[in-house]
A and B are shown apart, each in its own frame.
Chain A
Amino acid sequence: MLEVRALSKRFGGVTAADEISLEVRAGEVHALIGPNGAGKTTLIGLISGSLAADSGEVLFFRNNLTLAPPHARVRAGLARSFQATSIFPRFTVLENLALAVQARTGSSFSFWRPVREETALFEEAAALAEQIGLSERRDRFAAALAHGEQRALEIGLALATRPRLLLLDEPTAGMGAEESRRMIALIERLRAGIAVLLVEHDMDAVFRLADRVSVLVTGRVIATGTPAEIRAHPEVRVAYLGDEGAG
């Protein structure tokens, strides 16, 4: 469904993405691993459109989205979450989710009618809150949530756009073991209907969730394969898994 062809991006003298080619198939969880600075977040930015590629192409269901702005990619079914939590702190959980639903349902060039009267919007938002386990927190301001809850809301915002492919940038970043476990369970529930491109440092999570894994090192994909293949890949063991792989 998603095809990335020879995507490159340079920041000054640093090549953050060096002719990256990658394919995400329908229904799969595709993990993207690699050491810090390998270009994982850059790649997510290039695919979601928040960064403009220097060269290469992004194809989604055969549509060329390389030049499309981020909001158009979201409409096409490509939603992302952020590594550093990016939510609307001064809105409640329900309002956060309703905003994302609002983006998808009709024009927001409506100046007179109060949003509050649109019950369908808030019903869907409530269902999303339920799905991400924040039902009891739905009327809290997002700023007042615990870190793990904010991370869940982060995913919820992306889900509200009804994506066909979800780009998750380190969903368990900064989480304790218990919170991580819950997040992994959430992603596992999602995989039924949505393909996921998952950037993750937690190897347990990667090997548990992923159907396939791509390894990124200094802006290049050095290997793609099943978790078992990646574990056994000699180059990957040297470049990335290091002690962990040897142990």
Chain B
Amino acid sequence: MARLAALLALALPLALQAADQSYYISLAARILVYALAASSLNLILGYGGMVSFGHAAFFGLGAYVSGVLLAEGAASAWIGWPAAVAVSALAAAAIGAVSLRTRGVYFIMITLAFAQMMYYLVISVKAYGGDEGLTLPDRARLGFGLNLESDIAFYYVVLAVLGLALLALGRLTHSRFGRALAAIRDNETRMEAIGFPVLRYKLAAFVIAGAAAGLAGALLASQAKYVSPNLLHWTQSGTLMIMVILGGVGRLWGGVLGAALLLGLEELFSGFTLHTPFYIGAVLLAVVLFAPRGLAGLFSAARDA
């Protein structure tokens, strides 16, 4: 599946260009960015069992850090993207250290509350657009003779980042850390009782996920040349969560499939209706009812049969 997906993804922009549908290259890049963000949420939600309803905070924060640096003239991606990762990781460490002491509904609510605080914080910063967002002059510069202003070049950069992230996620799930994380999801009390400092492991996963979401945010800022406070809004957290559920909770390809399905459907429905959310809702309902393990679950079921 990985090889087929890689081949498709590599050929896609060339095919689109040949078919004179270059607009869709930009959409495809957006899908890849959201795939990274959703996959990062899947690490804590799916593998770690932490239902965070505030993941957009790290996504949006990464976008803003990268966006503000671009607006201030620090155009290098080698500054902007690591900075976005670092700030999002720090925010995740602080928010996680408090939130992870709670469980269940309280955890959902406290992560939501933190994310909303960040949202209003960003809105209040009028120097960087306030609630209107921040329009960026250019995309970040990567060097090596790559011009990211070209949608095709940008697409391939995002594809490379996502590919590396998925490789790392795949390795992680089978590593000591990944097994410990999955076992914490299964039975936290028992993990503590066989000698694991559970909170430390959950926090590490939370920070990794936050950092990856920050990177996705930085990529999105360059992709759209615009950052909006809406990126931090709780509905954005909901969107990421829906992607994970659609694609497959706790499945390597869940985030990718979910992002592709949701953004693809949005594009499809917006062509002939104003009531996109209604139809998306219907699809979500169908997936939850008929494919409760998400799209990725369908694939592996077919393989097992």
Chain A residues, CB < 8 A from B186: 88-91
Chain B residues, CB < 8 A from A116: 174
Query: Which of B160-192 touch A at CB < 8 Å?
Result: 168, 171-172, 174-180, 182-183, 186-187, 189-192
- A102, B180: Cβ atoms under 8 Å? yes
- B194, A157: Cβ atoms under 8 Å? yes
Query: Which of B186-214 touch A at CB < 8 Å?
Result: 186-187, 189-198, 201, 204
**CA of A116 to CA of B196, assembled, Å:** 19
Q: Is A110 an interface residue (CB 8 A)?
A: yes
- A71, B177: Cβ atoms under 8 Å? no
- B189, A108: Cβ atoms under 8 Å? no
Chain A residues, CB < 8 A from B183: 88, 91, 99
- B177, A80: Cβ atoms under 8 Å? no
Q: Is A32 an interface residue (CB 8 A)?
A: no
Chain B residues, CB < 8 A from A50: 189, 192-193
**CA of A87 to CA of B193, assembled, Å:** 11
Chain A residues, CB < 8 A from B172: 111-112
- B193, A70: Cβ atoms under 8 Å? yes
Q: Quick one: closest B residue to A113, CB to CB?
A: B175
Chain A residues, CB < 8 A from B197: 69, 71-72
For the complex, count residues of A whose C-beta is within 8 A of B.
38
State which of A74, A87, A99 has its C-beta within 8 Å of the C-beta of B180.
A99
Q: Is A189 an interface residue (CB 8 A)?
A: no
Among B176, B178, B186, B197, the most chain A Cβ lie within 10 Å of the Cβ of B176
- A103, B194: Cβ atoms under 8 Å? yes
- Shortest Cβ distance from residue A247 to the other chain B in the assembled complex, whole angstroms: 38
**CA of A123 to CA of B197, assembled, Å:** 24
- A103, B187: Cβ atoms under 8 Å? no
Q: Is A75 an interface residue (CB 8 A)?
A: yes
- A88, B187: Cβ atoms under 8 Å? yes
- A88, B174: Cβ atoms under 8 Å? no
Chain B residues, CB < 8 A from A89: 186-187
Q: Is A210 an interface residue (CB 8 A)?
A: no
- B177, A74: Cβ atoms under 8 Å? no
Given contacts A71-B198, A102-B179, A110-B176, whether A88 and B190 have CB atoms under 8 Å apart is yes
- B196, A71: Cβ atoms under 8 Å? yes
**Interface residues as binary, A36-51 with B (CB distance below 8 Å gives 1, 0 otherwise):** 0000000000001010
State which of B168, B176, B180, B195 has its C-beta within 8 Å of the C-beta of A161.
B195
Chain A residues, CB < 8 A from B175: 110-115
**CA of A75 to CA of B195, assembled, Å:** 6
**CA of A102 to CA of B174, assembled, Å:** 13
State which of A74, A111, A114 has its C-beta within 8 Å of the C-beta of B194.
A74
State which of A86, A102, A118 has its C-beta within 8 Å of the C-beta of B193.
A86
**CA of A245 to CA of B176, assembled, Å:** 52
Chain A residues, CB < 8 A from B187: 86-89
A-B contact pairs, 22 of them (CB 8 A): A70-B193, A71-B195, A71-B197, A71-B198, A72-B197, A82-B193, A88-B183, A88-B186, A90-B186, A99-B183, A99-B191, A99-B194, A103-B191, A103-B194, A109-B204, A110-B175, A111-B172, A112-B172, A115-B175, A115-B178, A157-B193, A161-B194
| Chain B residues in the interface with A (C-beta under 8 A) | 168, 171-172, 174-180, 182-183, 186-187, 189-198, 201, 204
| Chain A residues in the interface with B (C-beta under 8 A) | 48, 50, 69-72, 74-75, 79-80, 82, 86-91, 95, 99-100, 102-104, 107-116, 118, 157-158, 160-161
